[in-house]
């Protein structure tokens, strides 16, 4: 196992003084306990926030995001929008938030495959074991120890409940929300998985972190699809991560070429942040990069049936997208590859049961096959029943 990373809390010294004057059989200072358990669980950093200090501004920004429709078809965000505005809207008794971060900083350039169009680029976070399966058990360990020590109730969250993790992380001092809307840490750059423990216990909070973005706008300028209408604002409908992971329908034509060979997520805005220079590569054995996610050949991915897809990406976030959406993404990458040798494999997917796969296959063929060949295929598939796929054929013939 790799050495346990250091976990820092700003007021740990005060807690150490109190603990030194406390009988061994008395409860340990909560802050020292949290720091100790977080380090033992393998977390990279931990900070504490007073829930009531969050205020209403993050909630108002979130509601504006929903009202503008910038969440796309992530209906689950809208369905629980009121509860997501503030932790106390979900749990009125919560007093403190313990925010824990686990670094997944890469040891090489996450954008290195973008110029290799015969290969696929997969986001750093998805190139390894699903972080939910790694973070949650560790979070529960810390929460159990805290509950035992304080006698107060706890709840744990890893990106699966109506809770705004990033504003809480900023309030706790783990970092600040950068212009790309993601959390930035002075120690870990843009590469932190977040987990949160809410508790009824009142624990001395840390100081919030200041915004250190300054005049830098690298993350905004590099975005291939112009997904940032302004600094600190994201229109998810234009975001490649949203389009390749959350979006369930056909990918809009206007973004397909810009997606390039990114088949699951996009790291561009994260990777160019100057604060990454301080991040140490993660050596957590549970987060080891999977070989099969490192620039896999597009030809090989097109050949995967559902069973092979599930087996190859078992335990990773990629599997949760499902085989059909995965193939949709790979076909977009194929269409951008300029590799005409892929045409026969793409043709077989014109008969796929999922319309989003058939439609993406039509588009890919329109980019790789001759006009005559596309016309012949269109005639052969003239009985296509799905309207969106028929529209793809019409567009392919027109182009």
Which sequence positions are flagged as catalytic? 159
Q: Are 180 and 211 in contact (CB under 8 A)?
A: no
Q: How many CB atoms lie within 10 A of CB 101?
A: 26
What are the backbone angles phi and psi of residue 172, rounded to the nearest 5°? -75, -15
What are the backbone angles phi and psi of residue 6, rounded to the nearest 5°? -70, 140
* Long-range CB contact pairs, 341-350, < 8 A, 24+: 341/299, 342/298, 342/299, 342/302, 342/368, 343/368, 343/369, 343/373, 345/299, 345/302, 345/303, 346/302, 347/377, 349/302, 350/377, 350/381
Tokens encoding 302: 């097109």
- Torsion, Cα of 375, 376, 379, 380 (10° steps): -140
Q: Are 245 and 262 in contact (CB under 8 A)?
A: no
Q: Are 196 and 242 in contact (CB under 8 A)?
A: no
Q: Give which of 36, 146, 35, 39 is closest to 94, Cα–Cα.
A: 146
Distance CA 68, CA 139 (A): 34
Q: Give which of 168, 164, 136 is closest to 43, Cα–Cα.
A: 136
Q: Are 193 and 135 in contact (CB under 8 A)?
A: yes
Q: Are 109 and 194 in contact (CB under 8 A)?
A: no
Bridge-partner residues for 45, per DSSP? 101
The CA-atom distances, in angstroms, between 146 and each of 24, 39, 53, 91, 141 are: 17, 14, 21, 18, 9
| DSSP 8-state secondary structure symbol assigned to residue 242 | I
Q: Are 123 and 265 in contact (CB under 8 A)?
A: yes
Name the pairing type of β-strands 183-184 and 176-177: antiparallel
């Amino acid at each position: 196992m790799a050495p346990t990373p250091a976990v820092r809390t700003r007021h740990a010294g005060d807690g150490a003084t109190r603990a030194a004057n406390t009988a061994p059989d008395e409860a340990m200072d909560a802050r020292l306990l949290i720091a100790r358990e977080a380090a033992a669980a393998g977390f990279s950093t931990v900070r504490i926030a007073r829930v009531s200090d969050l205020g209403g501004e993050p909630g108002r920004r979130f509601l504006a995001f929903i009202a503008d429709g910038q969440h796309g078809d992530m209906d689950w965000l809208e369905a629980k929008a009121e509860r997501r505005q503030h932790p106390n809207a979900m749990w009125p008794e919560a007093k403190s938030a313990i925010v824990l971060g686990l670094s997944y900083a890469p040891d090489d350039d996450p954008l290195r495959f973008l110029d290799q169009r015969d290969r696929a680029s997969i986001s750093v976070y998805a190139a390894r074991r699903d972080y939910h399966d790694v973070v949650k058990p560790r979070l529960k360990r810390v929460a159990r120890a805290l509950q035992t020590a304080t006698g107060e109730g706890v709840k744990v969250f890893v990106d699966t409940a109506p809770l705004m993790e990033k504003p809480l992380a900023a309030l706790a001092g783990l970092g600040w929300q950068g212009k790309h809307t993601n959390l930035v840490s002075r120690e870990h750059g843009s590469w932190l998985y977040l987990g949160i423990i809410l508790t009824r216990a009142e624990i001395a909070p840390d100081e919030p972190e200041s915004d250190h973005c300054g005049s830098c706008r690298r993350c905004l300028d590099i975005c291939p699809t112009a997904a940032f209408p302004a600094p600190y604002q994201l229109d998810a409908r234009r975001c490649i991560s949203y389009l390749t992971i959350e979006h369930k329908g056909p990918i809009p034509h206007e973004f397909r070429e810009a997606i390039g060979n990114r088949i699951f997520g996009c790291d561009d805005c994260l990777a160019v942040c100057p604060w990454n220079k301080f991040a140490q590569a993660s050596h957590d054995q549970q987060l080891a990069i999977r070989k099969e996610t490192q620039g896999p050949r597009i030809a090989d991915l097109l050949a995967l049936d559902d069973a092979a897809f599930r087996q190859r990406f078992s335990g990773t976030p990629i599997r949760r997208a499902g085989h059909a959406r995965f193939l949709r993404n790979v076909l977009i990458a194929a269409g951008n590859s300029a590799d005409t040798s892929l045409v026969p494999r793409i043709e077989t997917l014109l008969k796929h049961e999922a319309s989003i796969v058939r439609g993406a296959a039509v588009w890919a063929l329109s980019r790789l096959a001759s006009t005559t060949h596309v016309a012949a295929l269109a005639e052969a598939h003239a009985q296509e029943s799905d309207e969106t796929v028929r529209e793809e054929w019409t567009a392919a013939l027109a182009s």
